[in-house]
Amino acid sequence: MKTYDTIIIGAGHNGLVAAAYLAKKGKKVLVLERRDMVGGQVVTESFGENFKVDSLHAGGTLRPDIIKHLNLASHGLVVDTVRKPFISLQADSKHLVFDADPAKAAESIKRFSEKDAANWIPFLDFMNKVSRFVHSANAAIMPRLPKGFNASEGMALAKLGINVRMLGGKNMMRIIRGIPMTADEFVDEWFESDIVKAAVASLGLHGFTLGAFGAGTGYTLMHNWANRGGMSHVSVQGGIGKISEALAGAVRLLGGEIRTNAEVKKVVIKDMRASGVVLSNGEEISSGNVISAADPKHTFLSLVGAMELPPEFVWNVQSIKMRGSVAKVHLLTDGKHGIPDGTVVVAPSIKYLEKAYDAAKYHQISEKPYLEVTTSGNVVSIHFQFAAYKLKSGDWKTEGAKVEKIAMDTLAEYFPDLKPSIVNRKVLTPLDLETTYGLTEGDLNHGQLMLDQFMFMRPIPGWSNHRTPIDNLYLCGSGVHGGGGVSGASGRNVVKVLK
Amino acid sequence: MQQLRNTPFHERTSALCQPQNWRKWAGYYVVGSYEHTIDREYWAIRNSAALIDVTPLMKYMIKGKDAANLLDRVTTRNIHKMSVGQVYYTAWCDDEGKMIDDGTVARLDETTFRLTSAEPNLRWLMMNAVGFDVHISEVSDSVASLSLQGPNSRSVLKRVCESDVEGLKYFRLMKNKLGGVEVTISRTGYTGDLGYEIWMEAKDALKVWDALMEAGQDYGITPVGILALDMTRVEAGLFMLDVDYTSASHAWIEAQKSSPFELGLDWTVALDKPGYFVGRKALEKEKKEGSSWKMVGIEIDWVGMEALYAEVGLPPQVPGTAVRASMPIMVGNVQVGYASTASWSPLLKKYIALAHLEKPYYELGTDVRMEITVEHHRKHAPAKVVKLPFYEPEWKKK
Ligand SMILES: Cc1cc2nc3c(=O)[nH]c(=O)nc-3n(C[C@H](O)[C@H](O)[C@H](O)COP(=O)(O)OP(=O)(O)OC[C@H]3O[C@@H](n4cnc5c(N)ncnc54)[C@H](O)[C@@H]3O)c2cc1C
């Protein structure tokens, strides 16, 4: 039987980043992916003839140092340098356009508020500092509070402290204050126009089951801003799937192996130590370490099994809030959809966003949803919130049609040419996110990025440093600190803690 | 307001309890002693047959395909080695290897177990049952229990049970019929003597009581309260939750917690069983590194005590019941531990105590001194670390 230094469960971008770094260190690695393709949520797929699209995450990029270290450009990764505009749709068609050029953006903001326009450049400057903070926080391995804290773990925190301090005392306070704030409060400190505020605040909701008045959406706003490097998505030439393909290319070139259609069923555990995995087809593969890039709930409750884990740990894992509420609707059109290029949002007011979120609270589908729309050629992709994973009535085998209809109706109000242009369509419900993409409860981030589930509390308090109660078993997906979004941070970090 | 409840034997016990010295036990009223002094009850345990209402014990039924797996995970013993009809005494710990509670597990059939405990454990069992195919139910109220203890207890049961209890071995159980009622009888108890515990549906409680009292007449059967029981359990070297140790689930500070090794339960910790069980890593570590303290027995030196009392012109005084108090233990001028229960043993004619001593003072034969109060003055009586149990009659396991 062939054995490996490390087996990585899940070929999402984080799993691939971890694999590439390990392979680079000369380790024998094997990545096992249940789907027939690599990438996890960072994939470009075809849903029919001429219907190829970034299925889930719209555009994105890895942290620049990772792209460089792994030489991903040589594996065909080209990230667009021109940032497209972020457009907030208005009923009168005089949309609010946040152009990548700050002066142009300020010009558009001016129509809504002179003051806000004047504040735009200082705000961008502040958000740049925010991004530095978020990235440096995500690069730090979180100490295990309250237990197990030791000096070496404290170093990472100290370093982070210094980095934050270097942003200047005033900025540091503003960032720290911003974390527990609501997105509404966060933008309220800068802007007066509800339209401007809602457009910016929408970033705080994107991908999360939280409203604009939810504590901690100040943080999620900063998180998404940092990962996007601004408001709009950057696109990848040939689709976001190129990121995953480039990573896979790097893994293979460095001597790593990747197997698709290889679902892990169990982590093999002997005397509280992981020693390999068993696949769904019964095949057993042994290894020195196992890293799971799948979400922590799936990892611990299905792959490891509660029986192998301490009761308090199991209780904490069961309590991880997953709560997916995102659906995706792709429309193949004849090209005459009329939607401008860029990241286009339906987020007309703060209250609108909050009301859209109410649906998630009551286990429903928003009648008036918050939408984020991107186009690539003839395909229109709609990110739909909120569509609760657990529905009060009906189920996701049939309710997809409702999401599709609401999404199309909502957009058609702004773009009357849209409906007649539609040729084909594909909806991905929260249930699809679970069954097709392996996300427990359809949660994109492998657990909500809420205040009680972030930093040293991610995935659960006391286990924030990628380790688990099972020796030689580590975590590296979005469910650990550094994760959430596409950056590769948690995949990069796990390699630092591996024995 | 929380109301204490009566056990299903209350109609009988209340009619017999002369001093009305009721005690609280796990939400129930139980008899402290039936008479104004407890000597007769104490001697019934040691010389004849004592009938003790132990209904307030917490009881759980654990059923299902994974029942053994669950108990193997929760407790420190290797439950898979248990045969049907066997009973294990066991501790269970938190994941830091600190004791939560202790009690008995009885294997009623391949997939059915009954667990007894001193304190509520349902949530802990449920928390541990994630992923197991098992059904846990609390039967503390619906199952009544009587403890029949003492050298005559077997003879009493032989007279009244449908099936013979003669072959029932120590820590085994059998189904039986008694007073026309289905019961389970286990050869267990908290006295360190020959004894049995009888488990029945609460509704049948009085029938069983009456049948036993009648059958036991010629054998000196005596209803006994928990004060006498407390003295005998000290003689037997058995500790008690909340008296001799604090459950990890409600200790305020680390120092209040105890490991099974510290309480002398090394023999119950099956580190050789495979796989995870709660507390395993911590217990392995403690086993390797040694415990920083241990619970041991000490015998207070009579002559030494006599001398301390003689100073004030008194003969030695001994308490009439077990003393549940913290009594400092010294070596030289340094405190090296404390006793948590002390008792005069009428049978051994010795003043004995369960003591918690720091390393290395817990070694057998170590000379220590225990604090006693002589005429309102603190004195230190000489004492020695001795082997537990203090008393073990040859008929206990025979
Ligand atoms: C529509 C959408 C929009 C998003 N927008 C944002 C955003 O704006 N901001 C943000 O922060 N995040 C966003 N995200 C989330 C972001 O995409 C994810 O956090 C990120 O891609 C997760 O990467 P990962 O590598 O950690 O995990 P994943 O990409 O989820 O990869 C995990 C992989 O493990 C595989 N796997 C699971 N179980 C097994 C098994 N038993 N055996 C083998 N393989 C297994 C899965 O198939 C999958 O390939 C969005 C996601 C979606 C769907």
CATH (domain of B13): 3.30.1360.120
- pLDDT of the residue at A167: 83
Among residues of chain B, what percentage have pLDDT more than 90? 99
The CA distance from A292 to A315, in Å, is 20
- Averaged over B83-98, what is the pLDDT? 98
- Of B176, B206, B224, which residue sits at a domain end? B224
Q: Are residues B164 and B83 in the same domain?
A: no
pLDDT in tens, A165-186: 888 888 889 999 999 999 999 9
**Range(s) of the domain holding residue B123:** 59-139+259-289
The CA distance from B251 to A355, in Å, is 46
Beta-carbon count within 10 A of A483 CB = 29
- Averaged over A65-69, what is the pLDDT? 96
Respond yes or no on whether ipTM tops 0.90.
no
pLDDT in tens, B200-232: 999 999 999 999 999 999 999 999 999 999 999
For the entire predicted model, the pTM comes to 0.92
Contact B152, B219 (CB under 8 A): yes
Q: Is A40 in the pocket of ligand 1 (CB under 6 A)?
A: yes
Compute, in angstroms, the gap from residue A352 CA to the centroid of ligand 1: 28
Which residues of chain B neighbour A314 with C-beta distances below 8 Å? 127-128, 130-131
Which is nearest to B60 in space by CA: B6, B134, B5?
B134
- pLDDT of the residue at A351: 98
Question: Distance, in angstroms, between B323 CA and closest chain A CA?
Answer: 36
Residue A139 clears pLDDT 70, i.e. is over it: yes
In a domain, B104, yes or no: yes
In a domain, B79, yes or no: yes
Burial of A91 (0-12, 13-18, 19+ CB in 10 A): exposed
- pLDDT of the residue at B1: 67
Among residues of chain A, what percentage have pLDDT more than 70? 99
Q: Are residues B219 and B343 in the same domain?
A: no
Kindly indicate the confidence band of residue A143, based on its pLDDT and cuts at 50, 70 and 90: confident
Q: Domain containing B98 — which CATH number?
A: 3.30.70.1400
- Averaged over A299-305, what is the pLDDT? 97
Residue B249 clears pLDDT 90, i.e. is over it: yes
Which is nearest to B224 in space by CA: B30, B25, B11, B7?
B30
Contact A34, A438 (CB under 8 A): yes
End-to-end alpha carbon distance in chain B: 47
Cα-based distances in Å from B189 to B51, B55, B209: 11, 13, 17
Among residues of chain A, what percentage have pLDDT more than 90? 91
Residue A153 clears pLDDT 80, i.e. is over it: no
Q: Are residues B148 and B41 in the same domain?
A: yes
Q: Contact A309/B127, CB-based, under 8 Å?
A: no
Q: Contact A272/B281, CB-based, under 8 Å?
A: yes
- Averaged over A126-146, what is the pLDDT? 91
- pLDDT of the residue at A242: 96
- pLDDT of the residue at A59: 85
Chain B CB within 8 Å of residue A82 CB: no
Q: Are residues B325 and B191 in the same domain?
A: no
Chain B CB within 8 Å of residue A311 CB: yes
- pLDDT of the residue at B36: 95
Chain A CB within 8 Å of residue B365 CB: no
Kindly indicate the confidence band of residue A259, based on its pLDDT and cuts at 50, 70 and 90: very high
Helix pair angle (A13-24, A241-253), 10° resolution: 20
Residue A298 clears pLDDT 90, i.e. is over it: yes
Q: Are residues B297 and B285 in the same domain?
A: no
The CA distance from B257 to B390, in Å, is 25
- pLDDT of the residue at A146: 72
Helix pair angle (A151-165, A169-178), 10° resolution: 110
Q: Contact B131/A272, CB-based, under 8 Å?
A: no
Beta-carbon count within 10 A of B367 CB = 12
- pLDDT of the residue at A156: 78
Contact A299, A18 (CB under 8 A): no
Which is nearest to A276 in space by CA: A263, A265, A290?
A290
- pLDDT of the residue at B165: 96
Taking all residues of chain A, what is their mean pLDDT, rounded to a whole number? 95
Q: Are residues B328 and B268 in the same domain?
A: no
When CB atoms are compared, the residue of B73, B127, B280 closest to A315 is B127
- Averaged over B29-38, what is the pLDDT? 96
pLDDT in tens, B291-318: 999 999 999 999 999 999 999 999 999 9
Which is nearest to B328 in space by CA: B363, B373, B290, B364?
B373
Q: Are residues B340 and B273 in the same domain?
A: no
Chain B CB within 8 Å of residue A49 CB: no
- pLDDT of the residue at A149: 66
Q: Contact A305/B131, CB-based, under 8 Å?
A: yes
- Averaged over A369-383, what is the pLDDT? 97
In a domain, B11, yes or no: yes
Proportion of chain B in helix, strand, coil states, percent, rounded to 5: 25, 35, 40
Number of domains in chain B: 3
Residue A266 clears pLDDT 70, i.e. is over it: yes
**CATH class as words, domain A3-42+62-79+237-321+443-497:** alpha beta
**Ligand 1 atom nearest A39 alpha carbon:** 49
Contact B228, B35 (CB under 8 A): no
Beta-carbon count within 10 A of A367 CB = 13
Kindly indicate the confidence band of residue A148, based on its pLDDT and cuts at 50, 70 and 90: low
Taking all residues of chain B, what is their mean pLDDT, rounded to a whole number? 97
CA–centroid distance for A465 within its chain: 20
Q: What 3-state class would DSSP assign to A144?
A: coil
- pLDDT of the residue at A72: 96
Kindly indicate the confidence band of residue A152, based on its pLDDT and cuts at 50, 70 and 90: confident
Q: Where are the domains of chain A?
A: 3-42+62-79+237-321+443-497, 97-228, 327-440
Chain B CB within 8 Å of residue A310 CB: yes
Q: Are residues B272 and B132 in the same domain?
A: yes
CA–centroid distance for A325 within its chain: 13
Chain B residue at shortest CA distance from A305:
B131
- Averaged over A225-248, what is the pLDDT? 95
- pLDDT of the residue at B154: 97
In a domain, B250, yes or no: no
Q: Is A483 in the pocket of ligand 1 (CB under 6 A)?
A: yes
Q: Are residues B104 and B203 in the same domain?
A: no
The β-bridge partners of B22 are B31
Q: Is A232 in the pocket of ligand 1 (CB under 6 A)?
A: no
Closest CA to ligand 1's atom 36:
A10
Q: Contact B95/A312, CB-based, under 8 Å?
A: yes
Residue A79 clears pLDDT 90, i.e. is over it: no
- Averaged over A124-136, what is the pLDDT? 95
